[in-house]
Amino acid sequence: MFQLLLIARIREDTARPKPSGGLSGLGLLATAGGESAVAGVCKAEQGIAFTYIENPADDCPGYVIDYVTLLKREDADSPSNMHWQTTGDQLFICGGVMQKTFSVTAYLSSPFVTGGGYMTLDGLLAARLFEELQNVEAAHAAVPVRCNAGLACASGAIYEPVSVDRIAFVAQLRAGHSLNPDLIKKNKRGALHRDVNDTSLCNVMNAYTLVTAPTITWYGEGDGNEVMRLLAGVEFIGKRRASGFGRVTRWEIADGDLDGITGYAGEPLRPVPVEMFSGDDARPIVDAAWRLPYWSPVNRAACYVPTGAINA
Amino acid sequence: MLEFFNSNFGRHFAEQTGDAMADAKAALSGGHPMKKGGMPQRISSGWAIVRPGKSVMQMKFAAKGVDYAVEDRYTAFLSELQAWDGKPRIFLTFDKKPIPVGNVFVTYDLRAVRICSPAGVETFDFTVPPEKSSGVAHKVIWKKKAGKK
C-alpha cells in the first residue's frame, strides 16, 4: 500500500490550506515500502518553504485528500489528480452540482423477488429515469451519481436476509388473443404457426429467489437530493412488483462515508473491473456486467463482485 | 467477454463482422457444415470448452480451428478444472435450443466456475464440496472427482 505524504505550503502565519479552486502549491507524493519517491512537481510559488506532512488527517484537520479521477490499479498517485475535500460532508462540486457520499435505505414491508444481479443503485435510478424520459441513453446519462470511466459510484443492494427461498411463478401467454397477428412471423404458407393458437405456448414457469429482509441499503456518491427525488416515487422494487412483492414503506437517505465502490474491509460493494479495483484482491474474479446497461453482455468484464452475489 | 468467445471459438464457425453480439449469436444459433457432410447443423448437443488458443468440443463439425473430443461433458469439465492454469475458460453445454449470448459467461476462478447452458448458468465453487442445494454440475463433477460413477 502506498503511504501518502503531503507537501503543504507553510506560510508564516501557519494558515491552513483552503479547499478552494486555487490548489496550486499543494501536492502529494507517494511512497512505496516506506521509501520516499517524488511522484510529481509541486507548483508552488518561488520562495515559499515546503515540508512533508506524514499524516494529513493530523496535520490538516478538517480536510482530506481526494482524487479528481479515481485511480485504477496500476495508476500512480499524481498530485495533479488530487484536491482538498472537507471532512465534514466530503462535498465536492461536479458538473455544477453538489456531490456527496450518502447511504440510501429502503424499508420493506413485503419480501422482494430477484432473478439475480447485484441490484445496483445506478441501475435502479436508471430504470426510474427511463420511466420519466422514455429514452435509454438519456436515462443512463442522467443518473445522478459520480461516474469514473463508466464505473458508477453506486453500490449493489446490501441486505441481511431473514430468509432466502426459491419461488416459481407461472406466466400465462395467450398469444392468439393478446398479440397482434401482424407482428408474428408467418410460415411459408403465409399462415401463423399452429402453436400460436395452441396450448403449447400458453404457460411459462419462471423460478426466482425470494428474499425476506427488513431493509435494503445502498451506498453512493453523487447528488443526494436528486437521488431522493427519484426514489421517493418508487413504491415497489425487484421482480414481481405488480404482485405486491418488494413493497417499500419509506426511503431514507443519510450522509455516508463509503463511495459505493469499496467497503470498510476493502471488499467490493458492486461489480468493479479488476484493473479499476484497489481493494481486497484475494476475492474470486467473476465475469460480470459493470456498467449500464447491465443486461448487455457487451458490458461484461472480469470483475471483483460483492460476496454472496456471485451467482448473479 | 464476447471478444474472448469470438476470437477463440466463434470465429471458426461464423464470419466476424465486428459486431461481437451478432457474431457470437451467429456461432451459437446458426447452421455450420458438419464433418460427416450433409446439411449444415446448429451446435445442438455435447459440450465445448473455450480456451485461450485452441478450444475443444464434442459435436463434430468441419471447422478446423477446434479440437474434438469424445468424453462426456462432466468428465471433460473435471479434467479442465483439475488442470487449471489460471487462464480464462468458457464451459458450454449444448442442447437442441441454442445458448443465448446472455448465458455465456467466462470462468476466471476455480471459486466461481460457471457452466453455461440454454437453460441458464450454474455457478459453483470447485474448491468446496457440493451441498444439498447445489446444482447438478457441481454434484456430478465432485462425484467424478471422488472416483464415483
Break chain A into its structural domains and give their ranges: 2-88, 98-162+213-304, 164-208
Q: Do B105 and A311 touch (CB under 8 A)?
A: no
Q: Do A286 and B1 touch (CB under 8 A)?
A: no
Contact A115, A208 (CB under 8 A): yes
Q: Which residue has the cell 451441498?
A: B131
| Mean pLDDT value across residues A262-282 | 92
Q: List the single best residue of A286, A290, A294, A305 to mutate versus B (max B Cβ within 10 A).
A: A286
Length of chain B: 149
User: CA of B117, closest CA in chain A: separation in Å?
Assistant: 14
ipTM for the complex?
0.90
* A42 vs B79, residue with greater confidence: B79
Contact A219, A260 (CB under 8 A): yes
Nearest CA in chain A to B113: A286
pLDDT in tens, A119-174: 999 999 999 999 999 999 999 999 999 988 889 999 999 999 999 998 998 877 76
Look at residue B38 in the predicted model and tell me its pLDDT.
86
Residue B102, chain A, CB below 8 Å: the answer is yes
Chain A environment of B101 (Cβ under 8 Å): 297
SS3 per residue for A108-149: ECCCEEECCCCCCHHHHHHHHHHHHHCCHHHHHHCCCECEEC
pLDDT at A73 over 80: no
pLDDT at A305 over 90: yes
Q: Do B102 and A295 touch (CB under 8 A)?
A: yes
| Mean pLDDT value across residues A53-75 | 55
pLDDT at B35 over 50: yes
Neighbours of A223 (CB within 10 A): 21
Contact A86, A63 (CB under 8 A): yes
Nearest CA in chain B to A311: B123
- The dihedrals phi and psi of B72, each to the nearest 5 degrees, come to -75, 165
Residue B101, chain A, CB below 8 Å: the answer is yes
Chain B environment of A295 (Cβ under 8 Å): 102
pLDDT in tens, A84-132: 655 443 444 444 455 689 999 999 999 999 988 899 999 999 999 999 9
Residue B88, chain A, CB below 8 Å: the answer is yes
pLDDT at A50 over 50: no
Q: Are strands B113-117 and B90-93 parallel, antiparallel or unpaired?
A: parallel
| pLDDT-above-70 percentage for chain A | 62
**3-state secondary structure at position A201:** helix
Residue B1, chain A, CB below 8 Å: the answer is yes
Chain B environment of A208 (Cβ under 8 Å): none
Chain A environment of B109 (Cβ under 8 Å): 284-286
Short-list B29, B27, B24, B32, CA closest to B3:
B24
